[in-house]
Amino acid sequence: MANTFLTPVTLWKDFDDSLPLEEETLSERREKGAVIREVRFLGREAGGDRVKIYAQYVLPEGEERFPAVMILFEAGCPFDEAFVGRFVARGYGVLCVDYCGENGTQAHTVYPSCIDYANYVRAGSHLDRAEPSARETSWYEWAGVARYAAKFLSTRGEVTRFGAIGLRTGGEVLFKIAPYAPISCMISVCAAGWLAYRGLEKFADGEQKVFDEEHHRFIAGIDSQSYAPYVRCPVLLLSAVNDKKHDYDRVYDTFQQINPEVQKAFLYSSHGNGLIGMHSLADVDLFLDKYLKERSVFLSGPIGLSVEEDAEGNLVARATFDAEGELHECGIFYTERITGSHARDWTRVMGNPASVRESVGTFPLELYEKSSRALVYAFANYSNNFSVTSKIQEVVVRKPYKNMCVKSRIVYSSERDSLNGVSGFRRRARSVADCFADGRGVDAKLLPGYGGIMGATAEAGLVSYRVNEPRYSAPEGASLRLDAYCGQDASLKVTFYFDDDEENGYSAEARVAGGGKWKSILFDASDFKSANGAHLESFVGALSVVFVGSAEVLVNNIVWI
């Protein structure tokens, strides 16, 4: 009987990537300084037929020699022209590879009928089960496509060096080819394995689940953390906090398992809405400059992090930064919500010159006095704009500390919080490649209202997850009061969500007269109605609150009374 328990070594030892590509150009056009070619080439053989791979090969116009990037977008998402264009503008060729198969157009990879499950729309259980082995999964076929796509770039005379970027599922695929494909570096965005652990939160209470044999087959042969020790090229991992689509709590676990012989860097993007901030693309650019353009670029080492009591009895986080780099900004983020990882409020504590000595920063960790656990990570931005973060560390509170805080009825105040406690609402936000904030509609920002008093707003609407944190949660019987300002007549819609998917909300609206002083608005729970007209009985148990203005409405001083 054939062995069904396959590893990254045994699964791929017989994979044949030596077959000829037989490439052809389907079309070619020029626009915005780029040459865009639709190409098709052949992949592996299956059932006496070959996989017919579809890709777009985008070249910087007028360049004879250049580095290149292979991009694997998230499964089910189209190639994103804006994302591709920024790399072409920086002098890279870009190969966008379709691994998802049938998509309702002619522009897709064609899989032989014997591996029809490689088509994403019909993947079914082949996405999350290794039956009878890891070889009979969609992931195996997608990685096979990526192996041949890497071969395509390796044969191009105009390409000097090439790396690969994978977004979400595309990042998972990259881990499976990184031990074998001739790529100079890889960047995985919101992807680092632990797919078999869906629904099992890292920091949740309770006994660890005992997996059956099939789960162990999937973990051993498919999950990216199993491939990490075999990766041979430099790796950059980007992860968005509060993302629902990947297990960001465990990404650093994969990072730690990456082959210690390769250079690697790690960054959490702290937008708080599941998107990577556009500022994090500085890491991507510097990383590619170093490994594809062979420039001298400082890339920081990992941050060390510990939590302890200081001499005054305060709870503090100590972060050890790279002594070779010049710090521009540093600090910590922390939350007191342990489970429900997509709905955490991450509070930022910025460092200052006095808080960092000999590359060690000390930051106050001011937890709620009734909290028993918290999560914290440190961040650093260096003078060349390269940023890194530490792992997310769990803090178990075993005693009271001098700097602990009492319960607060003030959910948000711009004077106290700046932009802590609010972020752009993900579901209404524009994004690039469904992964990166576009820098306009999604970012929360502070603007002056009447009297120069600052208020928070975002084109996508503001969301606050503080209402589910014990320190800021609503008392029974409370009403909600807030101040609002707008330069013109507008309406403000406020919605409370209680479900994990933030789909079924209770909403109320208020009119905000334009100009003049800040308007004080009071809501009782009964003012809020669901889509079917049901009234809200209490704010207790709310997961999030969202503020959406018909114009640029600023909000401030959100208080339970």
What is the CATH superfamily name and number for domain 24-196+209-291?
Alpha/Beta hydrolase fold, catalytic domain (3.40.50.1820)
The answer to whether 473 and 540 are in contact (CB under 8 A) is yes
CA distance 436 to 419: 19
| Mean pLDDT along residues 474-496 | 98
Instruction: Give the H or E element holding residue 43.
Output: strand 34-46
> H-type helices in 179-240, by residue range?
213-221, 224-227
For domain 410-560, is the CATH number 2.60.120?
yes
pLDDT digits (tens, 9 = 90+) for 64-83: 999 999 999 999 999 999 99
pLDDT digits (tens, 9 = 90+) for 183-195: 999 999 999 999 9
Fold of 304-396: Immunoglobulin-like (2.60.40)
Interacting residues of 142 by C-beta distance below 8 A, sequence separation 6+: 99, 100, 118, 169, 173
One DSSP character per residue, 379-393 reads: EEEETTS-EEE---E
Q: For the chain, which residues make up each domain, given as ranges?
A: 24-196+209-291, 304-396, 410-560
Tell me if residue 264 falls in helix, strand or coil.
strand
For residue 273, pLDDT over 80 is answered with no
Confidence category of residue 460, pLDDT binned at 50, 70, 90: confident
pLDDT digits (tens, 9 = 90+) for 213-259: 889 999 999 999 999 999 999 999 999 999 999 999 999 999 999 99
The answer to whether 159 and 152 are in contact (CB under 8 A) is no
For residue 281, pLDDT over 60 is answered with yes
The answer to whether 34 and 58 are in contact (CB under 8 A) is yes
pLDDT digits (tens, 9 = 90+) for 24-69: 999 999 999 999 999 999 999 999 999 999 999 999 999 999 999 9
Phi first, then psi: what are they for 481, rounded to 5°?
Answer: -125, 145
Please name the residue that has the structure tokens 């998802």: 100
Interacting residues of 105 by C-beta distance below 8 A, sequence separation 6+: none
Cα angle 536, 539, 544; round to 5: 105
Confidence category of residue 1, pLDDT binned at 50, 70, 90: very low
Question: How many beta carbons lie within 10 A of that of residue 376, not counting itself?
Answer: 25
For residue 174, pLDDT over 80 is answered with yes
The answer to whether 361 and 433 are in contact (CB under 8 A) is no
* Neighbouring C-alpha atoms within 13 Å toward the C-beta of 199: 3
pLDDT at 89 (0 to 100): 97
